[in-house]
């Protein structure tokens, strides 16, 4: 029986796997493709893992969850499937589900990138100009649906016995898709920690679990591991940043003891709704979830599930909720009750009417150091200036998450007179060279003809290489993130 047929939790020997190319490398190990199991990756660790802890982690969904929540974890998380043993019988790594292709975005230039939260935590107009992507409008139902999908996964994590905390729900570890409706796919679950019902961690006490800066829980002291309440902080922060399409920096201010007050812009029509207006339970959930004064009282994910279901229903987007259920193997309305808070939080969130967001302004500075690049492609000299706050007009209905057309390119600014003159001289010299080559081809002797054509070809190849190199330098800032 091949390794492809033995991936139901049983350990797999490394020599039975066909390991492909390197996909990624981190502090703990490397991630490789598996050509014979393209739905999986092999995560190789620098140090052998504890077999007992690995077995507990791999078997956790089967042992700790009911059928419905197990389906949610299988659909929305890259939960480890099997241990990989080396020739000495030690655990050298894990087989982990690979993110499906729908959790990727194609940029205007054809490059494909994982759809991380970074695309959703800034003005969609910025991403449209930079990458040619059409993303859902701020405070749109698709954004509420993505947070709802994540809350259902975290509810499943919290319902197990033992329960599980991911600990690093950041821009790099939460992927999203809207192709079939709102979906999330949480990666790096092999670093998750198991907790008993009192919140005591059950894993290796000596293992340090990293948290991503700007996404970490300020209640966790430096050098300590995230707690069972850290995912609750992350869920509240992701709600702010994904639904609001903005960064909302706060961790440094919280660590300094500064009270946090956030004005959360909403379209005016949503502010009139009882579930989204001032004093609505959703804002109290978010305030308590971000609180440092009483981390143990942060609301569980089940409270978020109930609140977001009520919001989606109130704004006429119950179909978004049903799409999440379908993507996660089924579902039904949550029975959770949103309990009122007993005391005021150290974080205040106030919904306010959103103002129109200015459209990105594009300028093309063509100063002396940049003249050569401007000659090649002045469009690539664009500098995007974005103003913050408010909402723009609703985006056209795209194929969410895969649209690549983007905003139309604005007209090029006129070049400086000396740049235009240099361009004309370069063009005349190039045309003159090719005219001479054509005359040599038609009328010159074979020896002279060969030298002229060789010279022309060499110059053309050199120009092509130089042009490609300069274009790569110009476009490289726009194709990363």
pLDDT in tens, 84-118: 999 888 999 999 999 999 999 999 999 999 999 99
The reply to whether 108 and 225 lie within a common domain is yes
Strands (E) in 134-182, as ranges, are 163-165, 174-177
Average pLDDT over residues 434-458: 66
pLDDT value at 389 more than 90: no
In a domain, 174, yes or no: yes
In a domain, 37, yes or no: yes
The reply to whether 106 and 248 lie within a common domain is yes
Number of domains in the chain: 3
Q: How confident is the model at residue 420 (pLDDT cuts 50, 70, 90)?
A: low
Identify the domain containing residue 475 by its residue range. Answer: 361-389+420-479
Low-confidence winner among 129-133, 188-192, 317-321, 465-469 (lowest mean pLDDT): 465-469
pLDDT in tens, 265-297: 999 889 888 889 998 989 999 999 999 998 999
Q: Which two tokens stand for residue 138?
A: 């701020």
Q: What is the pLDDT of residue 446?
A: 56
Count of beta carbons in the 10 Å neighbourhood of residue 97: 19
Q: Which of 45, 62, 97 delimits the end of a domain?
A: 97
pLDDT value at 3 more than 70: no
Q: How confident is the model at residue 363 (pLDDT cuts 50, 70, 90)?
A: very low
Q: How confident is the model at residue 385 (pLDDT cuts 50, 70, 90)?
A: very low
pLDDT value at 306 more than 90: yes
Average pLDDT over residues 224-228: 93
Task: Tell me phi and psi for residue 23, to 5 degrees.
Answer: -100, -40
The reply to whether 34 and 105 lie within a common domain is no
* C-beta separation of 17 from 92 below 8 A: no
The reply to whether 105 and 243 lie within a common domain is yes
Domain harbouring 24, CATH code: 3.30.200.20
pLDDT in tens, 50-92: 888 899 999 999 999 999 999 999 999 999 999 999 988 899 9
Q: How confident is the model at residue 157 (pLDDT cuts 50, 70, 90)?
A: very high
The reply to whether 428 and 320 lie within a common domain is no
Domain harbouring 255, CATH code: 1.10.510.10
The reply to whether 84 and 113 lie within a common domain is no
Q: What is the pLDDT of residue 394?
A: 37
Low-confidence winner among 153-167, 253-267, 437-451 (lowest mean pLDDT): 437-451
Q: What is the pLDDT of residue 70?
A: 96
In a domain, 147, yes or no: yes
pLDDT value at 417 more than 70: no
pLDDT value at 344 more than 90: no
Q: Which of 353, 375, 405 delimits the end of a domain?
A: 353
Q: How confident is the model at residue 183 (pLDDT cuts 50, 70, 90)?
A: very high
What 415-421 contacts at long range (C-beta under 8 Å, 24+ apart), as own/partner pairs, is 415/366, 415/374, 415/378, 416/366, 416/371, 418/371, 419/366, 419/371, 419/374, 419/375
In a domain, 242, yes or no: yes
Q: Which of 64, 97, 130 delimits the end of a domain?
A: 97
In a domain, 155, yes or no: yes
The reply to whether 343 and 433 lie within a common domain is no
Q: What is the pLDDT of residue 393?
A: 36
Contacts of 246 (CB under 8 A, 6+ apart): 121, 122, 123, 138, 240, 388
The reply to whether 49 and 176 lie within a common domain is no
Average pLDDT over residues 112-134: 95
The reply to whether 149 and 214 lie within a common domain is yes
The reply to whether 333 and 278 lie within a common domain is yes
Instruction: Please tell me what DSSP assigns to residue 226.
Output: P
Q: How confident is the model at residue 471 (pLDDT cuts 50, 70, 90)?
A: confident
The reply to whether 86 and 105 lie within a common domain is no
End-to-end CA distance of the chain: 43
The reply to whether 137 and 65 lie within a common domain is no
Task: Tell me phi and psi for residue 195, to 5 degrees.
Answer: -130, 145
């Amino acid at each position: 029986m091949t390794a492809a047929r033995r991936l139901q939790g049983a350990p797999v020997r490394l020599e039975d796997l066909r390991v492909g190319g390197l996909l990624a490398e981190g502090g703990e190990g490397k991630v490789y493709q598996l050509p014979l199991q393209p739905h999986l990756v092999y995560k190789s660790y620098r140090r052998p893992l504890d077999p007992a802890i690995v077995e507990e982690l791999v078997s956790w969904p089967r042992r700790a969850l009911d059928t419905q929540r197990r389906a949610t974890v299988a659909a929305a998380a890259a939960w480890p499937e099997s241990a990989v043993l080396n020739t000495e019988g030690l655990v050298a790594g894990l087989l982990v589900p690979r993110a499906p292709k729908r959790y990727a975005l194609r940029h205007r230039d054809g490059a494909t990138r994982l759809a991380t939260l970074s695309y959703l935590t800034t003005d969609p107009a910025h991403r449209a100009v930079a990458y040619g992507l059409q993303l859902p409008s701020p405070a749109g139902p698709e954004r509420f649906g993505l947070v709802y999908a994540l809350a259902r996964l975290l509810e499943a994590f919290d319902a197990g016995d033992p329960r599980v905390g991911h600990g690093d729900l950041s821009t790099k570890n939460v992927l999203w898709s809207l192709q079939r409706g709102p979906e999330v796919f949480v990666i790096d679950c092999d670093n998750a920690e198991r907790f008993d019902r009192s919140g005591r961690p059950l894993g290796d006490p000596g293992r340090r679990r990293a948290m991503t800066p700007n996404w970490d829980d300020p209640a966790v002291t430096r050098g300590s591991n995230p707690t069972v309440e850290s995912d609750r902080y992350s869920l509240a922060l992701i709600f702010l940043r994904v639904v609001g399409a903005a960064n909302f920096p706060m961790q440094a201010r919280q660590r300094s003891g500064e009270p946090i007050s956030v004005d959360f812009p909403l379209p005016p029509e949503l502010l009139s709704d009882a579930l989204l207006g001032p004093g609505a339970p959703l804002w109290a959930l978010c305030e308590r979830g971000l609180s440092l004064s009483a981390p143990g009282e942060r609301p569980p994910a089940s409270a978020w599930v109930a609140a977001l279901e009520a919001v989606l229903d109130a704004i006429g987007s119950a179909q978004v909720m049903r799409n999440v259920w379908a993507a996660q193997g089924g579902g039904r309305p949550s029975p959770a009750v949103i309990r009122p808070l007993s005391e005021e939080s150290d974080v205040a969130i106030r919904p306010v009417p959103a103002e129109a967001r200015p459209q990105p302004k594009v300028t093309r500075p063509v100063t002396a150091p940049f003249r050569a690049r401007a000659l090649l492609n002045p469009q690539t000299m664009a500098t995007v200036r974005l103003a913050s706050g408010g909402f723009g007009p609703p985006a056209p209905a795209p194929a969410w998450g895969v649209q690549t057309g983007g905003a139309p390119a604005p007209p090029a600014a006129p070049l400086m007179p000396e740049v235009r003159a240099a361009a004309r001289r370069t063009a005349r010299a190039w045309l003159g060279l090719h005219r001479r080559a054509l005359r040599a081809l038609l009328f010159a002797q074979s020896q002279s003809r060969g030298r002229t054509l060789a010279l022309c070809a060499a110059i053309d190849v050199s120009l092509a290489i130089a042009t490609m190199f300069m274009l790569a330098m110009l476009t490289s800032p726009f194709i990363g993130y």
